[in-house]
A and B are shown apart, each in its own frame.
Chain A
Amino acid sequence: MGSSRNDETGKKLGMWLFLYTEIILFGGLFVLYAVYLTLHPQAFIDGGKQLSRTFGLINTIILLISSFAVAASITAVQKKQKKRALGALAATLGCGLIFLVNKYFEWGHKIHAGIYPNSERLLDGPPGENLFFGLYYVITGLHGLHIIIGMTVLAVAMGAVAQDRIRPNRLALLENAGLYWHLVDLIWIFIFPLFYLII
């Protein structure tokens, strides 16, 4: 009774349940994507061509590396390699930062070109393209928000590692922060081909 303080499995279960809510949250947007892709296939293709594959690919690679980094940080803690753990977490945060900077340039570029919610160019163009970019902004915007949340959570975990509050038998905070980050990566793994690679 009352052993919740040390029940790492329970804490992990709680985190996974929270991840399920995030999956379904984004899922609602993918419902819209699936329908509108079906109804406006050519417009989605044309829209996708206007997105920068380079930016998309770089961001994909960066997030994959960041997932590797945070997983490695857990291994480092388990092997009592504190410096390496902190380095790996710093790398993760760095990747997140680069991702956000890239996003900033990407969005800036599009807004400059007159492609933003309710812009004249989108309203005058084919409706399918309006939907494509509408979904692009909403989904990548929500995703970007989750990157920021993930970075915050990871920073807290990093602080805990630095203060030796994360130990091989007390990994829950770091593991759960990692899980959240991996989910953010997972969602991007689907966003990338669906927006940047449609033909």
Chain B
Amino acid sequence: MKNGIPLFKYGASLLGIVFLSATIYAAEETAPGVKGMSEEEFAPTKEVLAVKYVQADKPYHMDVESLKDRFKDAKGVKVALQKQDKAFPNGGGSVSSAEVKAAHDGTTIYFQISWSDPTKNVRAIAVQEFRDAVALMFPLGAVEITPAEHFSPRMGDREKPVNLWHWKADWEADLVAKGELEDVEAQYPNMHDDFNTNPYSAYYHRDLITSVAVLSGGRAANNLLSQPGRGRTVEDLNAEGFGTLTTQDHQDVNGCSHYEEGTWTVIIYRSLITEDPHDVQFVPGGNSYFNMAVWNGEEKDRNGQKNISTQWHPITLERVAWQ
């Protein structure tokens, strides 16, 4: 026993060293250009986003005005945002917070995100211009996020995939443009154009027109960003850590937005359940987590240059009334 006490003391300090070194390790670079996360970031926030059940039919037009009633009684969660400072390139920091409300009607889940942005950037055709955007992120599968779990709130991790819903202001503009993609003329109205598609014109060149698809880079490679006629404003993606963001083959998410007096209000919606195994699934009465990021186009935010929340936020879905 006499010997036991110092051993215990020694053991405790050893344990302390182990924990300390783990913390130090986490703060250091874990991969080139990537700093480790602090322990606090692995713990979800205390505040829970309650997804209220609202009995309502789908409006004819899915716009912010028609969907307003769904969030009437929803209690919002204020999400603090900060600069992305872990993975190269770092950036963001111009948007400090956003408010998130959520509701579901038994078939579809709606998230309303609003944040203040004095500049509206809805086009990214000129090389120096970037769009406003917002994204929600959910852990894939049924997971319980605890500090011990180390489920990264920043783009997920290897073996810990996430599902992301990325709303883009320019996709909204594309939706209403001719051919469902804003053409370069939208940015440069009086530009010269060799592509006369009128076959009766003296300038019509058949070989040129038919080769367009082949030489359209991203479009020929089926990059969703390059495709006309996407029919949606939200991209459905997956990630397993920094730099792994990948567009899903099956797109299920959509959204709408409204910009007024320096505030963006964006509603992102999807059916509670989908058939895609890469999608997060929502069950009324169940729970999940979300995290989010906001991009300010005026500040040239894109990719990792964004305003992020550094913790997961729990979500609980209210049961459907008849359940």
Do they bind each other?
A: no
